[in-house]
């Protein structure tokens, strides 16, 4: 009956190291300076004087573009735990930076495939984007959804809903007649057209990429590509959970602060039990999200229990982030609905994050296979 025993949970260190605590402090300080609310709000009006300084602060001042790049390629050689710390702060600040898409997702893929030259360029602050549709949770699901083909020596087609652009380098996975392959295409090559949408989350734009370029030699082919893509997507999904936990924590803190000031009916609104109880429940969720994200990062760092830890983290933290942002909007009352308040930025980011690397439903489906909780068969019920 039972297909396989469920994976045992490893004993992982969930407490931050001194290095991680220092890193958090540095990232928070840079983002506090470079991501003011009014500049973030203006993004959706087409005025961007925030993305450049924010990324410059992280990539150049702190060297975080190269956080996961191995030391021999000019990077810091750090791992998923440190990446999670940075992502958590990016979530809190709602930072419009390509840290997750370039420094984590694309970099992890290039590290696995040993792309020395590209990694050296990323280490110097260059950016890369993986050309798959948003919502891709694994190499398997990517293979069903890509729109790019190789034929007659050309790489051609369109991929809709790509996140991480603008970027210098496109990582284009294709599923050709000879199996999977990964091509590297400079974004300024002839035959590359990127059209950026008006996005739900202006802090992380969504683009369509149209390609008609010379295929050249792929960086890698075959099962190696699939395995590296799975690894990179899992790493990014685990790190995204930290971004979601940071976003949720910010929403809770801001809401508590607002309700501690706001007076109605002659009382501080935060003293009403109906609201206190909602915030207490949210506090429990946010604390758990932080622990779950730390667990996913530790699992990725130790390369143990990765599939279950990441699926749990995405299924849990996605829901908590959206819930925290929705509660923040509601409990800020009319203010929560305004353009000036920073709360709506988190709602948009939380909802976009919800689908970015696979929805909670997709991750629960993955979990069903991993922990032997199979779905109903058609004849059941």
Partner 1 sequence: MSEQHRSDLEQRVTALLEAHDPATTDRAEFLRARWEAGLAWVHFPAGLGGLGLPRDLQAHVDDLLAAAGAPDNAPERNGIGLGMAAPTILAHGTPEQHERFLRPLWLGEEIWCQLFSEPGAGSDLAAVATRAVPDESTGEWVVNGQKVWTSSAHLADFAILVARTDPDVPKHGGLSYFLLGMREPGVEVRPLRQLTGEAEFNEVFLTDVRVPAAQLLGAVGEGWRIANTTLNSERVSIGGQAVPREAGMVGKVAQTWRAHPERRTHGAHRRLLDLWVQAEAARITGSRVRQQLAVGAPGPEGSATKLVFARLAQELSALEVELLGEDGLRYDDWTLSRPEKVDFTGRDAGYRYLRAKGNSIEGGTSEILRNIIAERVLGLPGEPRVDKDVAWKDLPR
The residues binding partner 1 (CB under 8 A) are 1-2, 6-9, 11-15, 256, 259-260, 267-268, 270-271, 273, 276-277, 279-281, 283-284, 287-289, 291-292, 294-295, 308, 312, 315-316, 361, 364-365, 367-368, 371-377, 380-381
Q: Of 155 and 249, which has the nearer Cβ to partner 1?
A: 249
Q: Token match 């932080």: residue?
A: 290
The strand pair at 169-176 and 128-130 is best described as: parallel
- Minimum distance from CB of 207 to partner 1 (Å)? 32
**Rounded least distance, CB 227 to partner 1, Å:** 25
- The position carrying tokens 């989350």 is 201
Q: How far is the CB of 208 from partner 1 (least distance, A)?
A: 32
Of the two residues 203 and 318, which places its CB atom closer to partner 1 in the complex? 318
Q: In whole angstroms, how close is the CB of 290 to partner 1 at the nearest point?
A: 8
Contact status, residue 301 vs residue 239, Cβ threshold 8 Å: no
In sign, the C-alpha dihedral spanning 180, 184, 187, 193 is: negative
Nearer Cβ to partner 1 (116/268): 268
Measured CA to CA in angstroms, residue 15 lies from 18, 206, 259, 344 at distances of 10, 35, 30, 31
Burial of 237 (0-12, 13-18, 19+ CB in 10 A): buried
For partner 1, give the closer residue by CB, 190 or 380.
380
Q: Is the dihedral of CA 141, 142, 148, 153 positive or negative?
A: negative
In angstroms, give the least distance from the CB of 313 to partner 1. 9
Burial class (CB in 10 A: 0-12, 13-18, 19+), 198: exposed
The SS3 call for residue 162 is: strand
- Closest to partner 1 by CB, 177 vs 380, is 380
In the DSSP assignment, the letter for residue 208 is E
Q: From CA 255, how far away is CA 266, in angstroms rounded? A: 19
Q: Which is nearer to partner 1, 163 or 256 (CB)?
A: 256
Question: Minimum distance between the CB of residue 145 and partner 1, rounded to whole angstroms?
Answer: 23
Nearer to partner 1 by C-beta: 46 or 378?
378
- The H-assigned helical ranges of the chain are 18-34, 37-43, 51-56, 80-93, 107-112, 116-123, 139-145, 223-261, 273-302, 306-331, 343-356, 360-370
| Nearer CB in complex with partner 1: 25/277 | 277
Q: How far is the CB of 315 from partner 1 (least distance, A)?
A: 5
Torsion over CA: 306, 223, 128, 79 (sign): positive
The encoded tokens of residue 86 equal: 């940075």
Q: How far is the CB of 283 from partner 1 (least distance, A)?
A: 6
Residue found by looking up tokens 């590509």 in the block: 225
């Amino acid at each position: 009956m039972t297909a396989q025993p469920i994976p045992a949970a490893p004993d992982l260190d969930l407490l931050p190291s001194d290095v991680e605590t220092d890193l958090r402090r540095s990232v928070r300080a840079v983002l506090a300076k470079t991501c003011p609310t009014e500049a973030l709000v203006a993004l959706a009006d087409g005025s961007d004087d925030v993305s450049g300084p924010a990324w410059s602060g992280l990539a150049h001042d702190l060297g975080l573009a190269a956080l996961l790049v191995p030391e021999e390629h000019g990077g810091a050689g750090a791992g998923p735990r440190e990446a999670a710390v940075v992502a958590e702060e990016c979530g809190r600040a709602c930072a419009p930076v390509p840290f997750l898409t370039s420094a984590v997702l694309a970099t992890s893929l290039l590290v696995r495939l040993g792309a020395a030259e590209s990694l050296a360029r990323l280490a110097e602050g260059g950016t890369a984007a993986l050309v798959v549709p948003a919502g891709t949770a694994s190499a398997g699901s990517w293979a069903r959804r890509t729109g790019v083909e190789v034929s007659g020596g050309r790489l051609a087609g369109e991929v809709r809903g790509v996140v991480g652009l603008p970027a210098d380098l496109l990582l284009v996975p294709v599923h050709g007649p000879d199996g999977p392959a990964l091509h590297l295409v400079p974004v300024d090559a002839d035959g590359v057209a990127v059209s950026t949408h008006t996005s739900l989350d202006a802090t992380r734009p969504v683009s369509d990429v149209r390609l008609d370029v010379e295929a050249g030699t792929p960086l890698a082919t075959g099962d190696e590509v699939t395995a590296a893509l799975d690894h990179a997507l899992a790493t990014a999904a685990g790190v995204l959970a930290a971004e979601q936990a940071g976003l949720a924590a910010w929403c809770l803190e801001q809401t508590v602060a607002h309700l501690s000031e706001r007076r109605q009916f002659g009382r501080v609104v935060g003293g009403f039990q109906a609201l206190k109880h909602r915030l207490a429940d949210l506090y429990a969720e946010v604390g758990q999200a932080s622990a779950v994200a730390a667990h996913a990062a530790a699992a990725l760092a130790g390369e143990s229990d990765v599939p279950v830890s990441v699926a749990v983290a995405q299924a849990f933290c996605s829901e908590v982030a959206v819930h925290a942002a929705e509660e923040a909007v509601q409990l800020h009352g009319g203010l929560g609905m305004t353009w000036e308040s920073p709360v709506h930025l988190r709602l948009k980011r939380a909802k976009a994050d919800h689908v970015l690397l696979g929805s909670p439903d997709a991750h629960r489906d993955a979990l069903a296979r991993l922990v032997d909780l199979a779905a109903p068969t058609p004849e059941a019920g």
